[in-house]
Structure 1
Amino acid sequence: MISYLLFIGTLTAIYALLSLGLVASWGQAGMVNLGLVGFFGLGAYCSTLLTLLGLPIGLAWVAGGLLSAVMGIAFCLLTRTLRGDYLAIVTLGFGEGLRLVELNERWLTGGSDGISGIPAPFKAAAGELFPWLYFAIAWGIVLLAAWGLNRVLGSPFGRALRAVRDDENVAAVAGKSVLLLKCQAFGMGAALFGLAGALYAHFTSYISPDNFVVQLTIYIFLAVTLGGYSRLVGAILGAVAVMSILESSRFAAEFVPGLNAVQIASLREFAIAVALIIIMQVRPQGIFGLKNEKARAPAQPDTAPASVVSSHVK
């Protein structure tokens, strides 16, 4: 039972990291990315292949995040004229395109057979304590990413991102480089997606294109929506809630007689769909609501009261 809970807890941390990446690109910059699973897989394969070539795992994780960030920035430049639903559709196609590449380039990715035997950090040294160790590493990275994003998004850069999200034209008139800000936000989100993929690959020791399907995108959007799409803490707690829904539905067979394995799997997807519909109808701003993120006016220097000034003039 403990092993199962540690496994689910580590997967929840990976989902939380994906959710933080979506907050950076969608919640703060307003860029809908339905292809996040593509960057997730890109980071996983990059880290895996580099590790198998002899690169240390820590550096492979960084490389997976950086490659995803570079691809995200390049993609943002190519789609710079797209907005809203058009951008969402193109990102969805981009994510599926990456999965098809992973499926068909067998010489590199193993195709549908995938890649197995992926090494994990300190697994031999940790022994039976490895699940605890990886759980701590995953959640440590999540907390570090949340702290870093909180610092970045609370700065003038974060306020500029939200200005672009709310009205690009006003931000441009105010002298902000809209394209640069979008590329930075998309790159940050893609980097976290890639890092999450690297963590996933070295945790499960096996990856294949079947691990990077569009259902994962739906799970992450539900998690972010559940917590309030601009809230970092909400994204993390939303990931916990989504994983709880997914895993609790596994035990439905004990309470609903007559269900086979296929029906139970369908029930999980049905539970996610119902949860998303209920949230959008009852509380579209999320459980934690949307944070008031209006930029504050700069503090003015102390001045003498009007009456004193007036008397002095007289």
Structure 2
Amino acid sequence: MTEYLIFLAISTAIFALFSLGLNLQWGFTGLINFGHIAFMTLGAYTTVLLSLQGIPLFISAVMGAIVAALLGLIIGFATLRLREDYLAIVTIGVGELIRLVVNNQELPVGDTWVSGAFGVQSYPIPLTTAPNLFFRLVMIGLLTLLAAITFWALWRWIRVAQKSLRIDTSKKVSSKQELISRLSVGLIFALLTAGIYIAGVIGLYNYSPKAGLMLVSLLVLGFVFWRLEILVRSPWGRVLKAIREDEEVPRAMGKNVFWYKVQSLMLGGAIAGVAGAFFAWQLSAIYPDNFQPQLTFDAWIMVILGGSGNNIGTILGAVIFFTYDALTREYLPRIFTNLSSDQLGAFRIMIIGLILMVLMIWRPQGILGKKEELTLSK
């Protein structure tokens, strides 16, 4: 059970990172990106291939993020001066193009060249060697600090809604609904944080490399979330929101709309590149077929579920998605014993599609999204 919780925590952290990059591009800037997996693919392969050449893992991951950002720069210069739908068309093609190139090219694996179709294995992974007791206690301390910050942030987030309910009596109904939403989400996050913390402490004390990877992925997720929250509340972030709503307004105010779009595409791509590094480290062996277009649409599901233009909502969407994934993988085969594995897979997709349809009718802005910031109509 502990190992499974750690696995789910790593997967959720990776795809929360991946989706945060997409949320920056679409939720905050209104850029339609259907090939987000391209950034993850470049980040994963760059990190892995550089680490096999003896470059430290941290530098390899940073280089993977830079390469992914450069892809965003290239796509931006090629499409962002054209109509919005060109970006969607080009990103779909780029995502598949990169996967097919990797599949058909030879890759430098150490001192030899290996066909990309055979994948890349036996590359360095962070924290595979068990540290001594002192460093294990330091890691547990970091996990404790991260959990404490999470609980404090949740409490502060709920308090903001409570103050809004007391101050703005003219919007009492909407403020009360937001408070109820925040209380429900806060309770979910608190329970998950407690469960992951307990599993993480056990995994770190009786050292497991996956527990070490979980700690690093959660720390990176926390750092990226913190910096994104600062960015989107800054003047830079307000310009992105203005571009999303009506780019003619910031253009009339003298803002370089094209360059802001490119920056958003590059930063979102860099975040996805970092997620790609962690994805490769989690898998321990990567193949081109690990980077199917389906992963992009999984990220879209997470962003839409949680609420576009809301970073906490994106993380909530990732949590809901992987909770749903884990539960249906465990219980559907027991309920529908006469269905094959392929049929069960299709049935699971049908259920998530139905959930999305109901959500779009009931709450089109997502669970935590704001209706006035809805970008689905763009």
CA distance in 2, matches of 1:7, 1:15: 12
CA shift, 1:289, in A, is: 2.4
Q: In 1, are the aligned partners of 2:280 and 2:286 still within 8 Å (CA)?
A: yes
Does 1:27 pair with 2:31? no
Show the counterpart of 2:357. 277
CA distance in 1, matches of 2:348, 2:105: 31
Does 1:114 pair with 2:119? yes
Show the counterpart of 2:328. 249
CA shift, 1:86, in A, is: 2.8
Q: In 2, are the aligned partners of 1:249 and 1:267 still within 8 Å (CA)?
A: no
CA distance in 2, matches of 1:259, 1:51: 43
CA shift, 1:29, in A, is: 0.8
Structure showing greater radius of gyration is 1
1:41-91 CA-to-partner distances (Å, cap 9, x unmatched) read 110000000000000011111111111011111210111223333321211
Show the counterpart of 2:238. 159
Show the counterpart of 2:49. 49
1:201-241 CA-to-partner distances (Å, cap 9, x unmatched) read 11211111111111111111010011110000000010011
Q: In 1, are the aligned partners of 2:365 and 2:371 still within 8 Å (CA)?
A: no
1:176 to 240, 255, 263: 255
Deviates more, 1:176-185 or 1:198-207: 198-207
Report the AA paired with residue 101 of structure 1.
Answer: V
Q: In 1, are the aligned partners of 2:37 and 2:295 still within 8 Å (CA)?
A: yes
Show the counterpart of 1:189. 268
Show the counterpart of 1:79. 79
Deviates more, 1:86-95 or 1:207-216: 86-95
1:181-212 CA-to-partner distances (Å, cap 9, x unmatched) read 00110011000010000111112111111111
Show the counterpart of 1:7. 7
CA shift, 1:9, in A, is: 1.3
| CA RMSD after TM alignment | 1.6
CA shift, 1:292, in A, is: 6.6
SS at structure 1 position matched to 2:130 = helix
Does 1:200 pair with 2:285? no
Q: In 2, are the aligned partners of 1:14 and 1:138 still within 8 Å (CA)?
A: yes
Report the AA paired with residue 122 of structure 1.
Answer: L
CA shift, 1:276, in A, is: 2.2
Report the AA paired with residue 173 of structure 1.
Answer: A
Does 1:99 pair with 2:99? yes
CA shift, 1:113, in A, is: 1.7
Deviates more, 1:216-225 or 1:119-128: 119-128
Show the counterpart of 1:125. 130
Q: Unmatched 5+ residue regions in structure 2? A: 109-113, 132-205, 374-378
Report the AA paired with residue 364 of structure 2.
Answer: P
Q: In 2, are the aligned partners of 1:23 and 1:235 still within 8 Å (CA)?
A: yes
2:216 to 123, 133, 137: 137
Q: In 1, are the aligned partners of 2:37 and 2:296 still within 8 Å (CA)?
A: yes
CA distance in 2, matches of 1:272, 1:214: 17
1:247-280 CA-to-partner distances (Å, cap 9, x unmatched) read 2221201111212222222223223322222222
Does 1:236 pair with 2:315? yes
Report the AA paired with residue 124 of structure 1.
Answer: T
CA shift, 1:291, in A, is: 7.7
Deviates more, 1:255-264 or 1:175-184: 255-264
Show the counterpart of 2:153. none
Show the counterpart of 1:299. none
CA shift, 1:136, in A, is: 1.2
Work out the number of aligned pairs and report it. 293
Q: In 1, are the aligned partners of 2:24 and 2:268 still within 8 Å (CA)?
A: yes
Report the AA paired with residue 130 of structure 2.
Answer: A
Q: Unmatched 5+ residue regions in structure 1? A: 294-314
Report the AA paired with residue 264 of structure 1.
Answer: L
SS at structure 2 position matched to 1:125 = coil
For normalisation by structure 2, the TM-score amounts to: 0.75
Report the AA paired with residue 83 of structure 1.
Answer: R
Report the AA paired with residue 21 of structure 1.
Answer: G
CA shift, 1:112, in A, is: 2.2
CA distance in 2, matches of 1:154, 1:256: 48
For normalisation by structure 1, the TM-score amounts to: 0.89
Residues 1:291 and 1:148: Cα distance change in structure 2 (over 3 Å): farther
